[in-house]
Amino acid sequence: MKKTLLSGDEAVARGAYEAGCLVAAAYPGTPSTEILEAMAQYPEINSRWASNEKVALEIAGGASIGGARALAAMKHVGLNVAADPLLTLAYIGAYGGLVVVSADDPGCHSSQNEQDNRHYAVLAKLLMLEPSDSQECLDFTRAAFELSERFDTPALMRMTTRVCHSKGLAVTGERNAVPPKPYVRNVKKNSMLPAFARLRHVEVEKHMAALEDFANNCAMNRIEWGADKKIGVVTSGISYMHAREAFGDTVSYLKLGLTHPLPRKLISTFARSVDKIWVIEEGDPYLEDAIRALGFDCLGKELVPIQGELDAGLLRRIFLPPDQVRPYLSQIMPPPRPPVLCAGCPHRGILHILGQHKKDIAACGDIGCYTLGIQPPLEGLDTAVCMGAGFSGAIGLSQAFKAAGDSRKVFGLMGDSTFFHSGMTGLADAVHAQANVCLCILDNSITAMTGHQENPGTETDLMGRPAVRLDILSVVKGLGVPEDSITVLDPLDRPKVTEAVEKAIKTEGLSIIITRRPCVLIKEVRKSLEGRKCQVDPEACKKCKMCLKVGCPAIAFKDGHSNIDQSACMGCEYCMAVCKFHAISRVEGGAK
Ligand SMILES: Cc1ncc(C[n+]2csc(CCOP(=O)(O)OP(=O)(O)O)c2C)c(N)n1
């Protein structure tokens, strides 16, 4: 028996490895990213970053149809992108076990919403498992592959940030090298034409009924009796850990691990055995609604918040009398530190210039590091909705402006990874509709915000294999944008970016700006910049604070003038281009 310290994400990867998974695909997104990064360490599994979550799930679905055990992982909003194949793969079922991991983000640590993806299990009619710790992540993933094949359904592993990122000891096992099943052409099962889909739906309902019987009796759903039966807590996932920490053995628990289909018999047995039911769950009243539908009264969302995360201290404050609540939080809180673009970030240049033109333009942003350019002092963007909306939203906004007689030019911005994820389709529409927009692709040669994952624009893939690098300029031209409407430039070249933006404002119709400069945190880039620093001459500084407007974390106003923190400065020199008084210079002796 070997115990290993694993995060929940690493434990899912280990569980998939042990279950004999052969194919894995994902699109990065916190808190799910580390699952595929960990899977890439097992050469037995063909792991890759897909260009988006729909593609990832379709790759895994194809592998399952081909008889191989397969996994697709994504963050919660990624499941929206993958929802189309998800709901139909539920009808096709699983020949090779098919596991879909959704990592939800209660509290929006790094997401644009707090959606509770347990609803997807209901909507798509899927088996759903909710692990509470790393051991369960490993064990449940192994079980998910087996149950997926046994009940002919994709299995949804629903995790949340604290389960994904907390580390715990997990007992690891050997790999069960399940060979792929022989491929069988079976159009009635694998082609969801209406006539076949109607028949498959009947099967899906049968599988769900059989799964509910299983859920009522499986070890993943268990009653843990406490000191007495006055209070019965119904809970799942991380909420179980918080409840245990808050109440220990003073209450009884119904700990649910297989949460779709819900074990209604088991819930009823538990509910009848206790005097009062507390439902402790993050997010929506998923368990609570089911309990009420069974005719039991309970305490849930009238006390437990729908928004944000739970913790043991919060649960004690909610459920225990004040004299039993001991202080739980530290009295000293760290000062708030809102996220900002890194020192030397190439996106800073174009965002700064767009911000300076904010009266003449509106700019639709997207999801990536550049989203940080919405906030002061940059204020270079007006909107952020979802991946891809930077381009398609710009088309709609420009049409609204036209209808309103508003002459402002609309810009749309996104990064290279987002362009491959869901920007190319928006661009196709912009070309087709002859939209009056300027669309900007901020190519920093990597998927930066989630921690530098490969994408179709990189020369290697997740497993370090050589890959075909797609050239964004060629893609843009291939989608029908004439060469004279495209400007390629360095985003920190202030005069050129200013000229390109001002030209786009004056030009009617579609124009494209592609900015090219690699993320400053890429190891080789960082190394090449070693020793490159800028400094302020206090005598020459006129205290105009223009350099502070670029929002660089290395620049601060101290001792009556601007200062550059040498330990943070990356020597990008954008502040030098902004200072009208030439008070900023390169530190002599630094690398050129
Ligand atoms: C549908 C969806 N999938 C994944 C994410 C997570 N995510 C946020 S930003 C980002 C990367 C964006 O990369 P890129 O467009 O290249 O911009 P960069 O961060 O490199 O500037 C990802 C994957 C998300 N928010 N939504």
Cα 453 to ligand 1 centre (Å): 10
Q: At what angle do helices 134-150 and 8-18 cross, to 10 degrees?
A: 40
Q: 320-329, 371-380, 483-492, 525-534 — which is least confidently predicted?
A: 320-329
DSSP classification of residue 383: B
Distance (Å, whole) CA 438 – CA 339: 27
pLDDT band at 327 (very low <50, low <70, confident <90, very high): low
Measured from the Cα of 386, ligand 1's closest atom is 26
β-bridge pairing 98-104 and 70-75: parallel
What average pLDDT does the segment 90-113 reach? Answer: 97
Torsion over CA: 123, 128, 132, 133 (sign): negative
Do the beta carbons of residue 226 and residue 197 sit within 8 Å?
no
Arithmetic mean of pLDDT, 277-303: 98
Q: Which of 417, 422, 425, 446 to mutate to test the pocket of ligand 1 (most atoms within 8 A of CB)?
A: 417
Asked if 343 and 575 count as a contact pair (C-beta separation under 8 A), the reply is no
Ligand 1 and 75: CB distance under 6 A: yes
In the numeric block, which tokens belong to residue 422?
A: 């869901």
pTM of the model: 0.97
Q: Is-contact 28 52, C-beta < 8 A?
A: no
Q: Is any atom of ligand 1 closer than 6 Å to the C-beta of 81?
A: yes
Question: Which mutation among 112, 447, 525 tests ligand 1's pocket best, with the greatest number of atoms within 8 A of CB?
Answer: 447
Pairs from 305-310 (Cβ < 8 Å, separation ≥ 24): 307/107, 307/114, 308/106, 308/107, 308/114, 308/282, 309/106, 309/107, 309/160, 309/161, 309/162, 309/238, 309/282, 310/238, 310/239, 310/242, 310/280, 310/282
**For the chain, what percentages of helix, strand and coil (3-state, to nearest 5) are there?**
40, 20, 40
pLDDT in tens, 417-460: 999 999 999 999 999 999 999 999 999 999 999 999 999 999 99
State the DSSP string of 103-167. Answer: EE-TT-SSSS----THHHHHHHT-EEE---SHHHHHHHHHHHHHHHHHTTS-EEEEEEHHHHH-E
Least confident of 219-233, 244-258, 315-329, 503-517: 315-329
Proportion of the chain above pLDDT 70, given as a percent: 99
Nearest CA to ligand 1 atom 12: 368
- Whose Cα sits closest to atom 20 in ligand 1? 448
Confidence class for position 331, pLDDT limits 50, 70, 90: confident
In the block, residue with structure tokens 């990832």: 56
Residue nearest ligand 1's atom 4 by CA: 29
Taking the CB of residue 339, how many other CB atoms lie within 10 A of it?
Answer: 12
Which of the two residues, 1 and 158, has the higher pLDDT score?
158
At residue 213, does pLDDT exceed 50?
A: yes
DSSP H/E element including 196: helix 194-217
Give yes or no for residue 369 CB within 6 A of ligand 1: yes
The pair phi, psi for residue 335, each rounded to 5°, is: -65, 145
Average pLDDT of the chain, as a whole number = 96
Nearest-CA residue for atom 2 of ligand 1: 78
Does residue 181 have a pLDDT over 70?
yes
Quick one: how far is CA 163 from the chain centroid?
15
**Tokens linked to 386:** 């979802």
User: Confidence band (pLDDT; 50, 70, 90) for 589?
Assistant: low
Is the model's pLDDT at 461 over the cut of 80?
Answer: yes
pLDDT, tens digit, 9 for 90 and up, residues 522-573: 999 999 999 999 999 999 999 999 999 999 999 999 999 999 999 999 999 9
β-strands 252-256, 221-224 pairing = antiparallel
Residue 266: per-residue pLDDT? 98
**In ligand 1, which atom is closest to the CA atom of 449?**
19
Return the pLDDT at 592: 45
Res. 591: pLDDT tops 50: no
Expressed in angstroms and rounded, the spacing between residue 383 Cα and the centre of ligand 1 is: 15
Q: Tell how far the Cα of 451 is from the centroid of ligand 1, in angstroms.
A: 10
Which residues share a beta bridge with 557? 562
Average pLDDT over residues 81-105: 98
